[in-house]
Amino acid sequence: MSLELPPDATTRSLASIKRFFDESLDLEVGELKARMVLEFILKEIGPSIYNRAIADVQGRMHERVAELEGDCSQVEFAYWSRSVPRKAP
């Protein structure tokens, strides 16, 4: 599976990469080099970020499912546990 960004996110990412190189490294990077950097990040580093995000979501979902047991369950056979007065013999 290859990570792909929507066109708008790709455009914004390329602009951000070019700005980073210019402002942080004092290097002017053109469209082609910025695209190569973005593709490298998506192929090399992206899967680690993606996998971590999936693991975080799975952990949160497990927590939510565990909460459902307490939130949605009812005590069974509770009629006799209440203080029901007995008839006198």
Backbone phi, then psi, for 37, in 5-degree steps?
A: -65, -45
Return d(Cα 39, Cα 35) in angstroms, integer. 6
At 29 the pLDDT is 97
Question: pTM of the prediction?
Answer: 0.70
Q: What is the pLDDT of residues 36-86, one digit of tens each?
A: 999 999 999 999 999 999 999 999 999 988 888 777 778 888 888 776 666
The contacts of residue 32 (CB under 8 Å, 6+ apart) are none
At 83 the pLDDT is 67
Where do the structural domains in the chain lie, given as residue ranges?
7-72
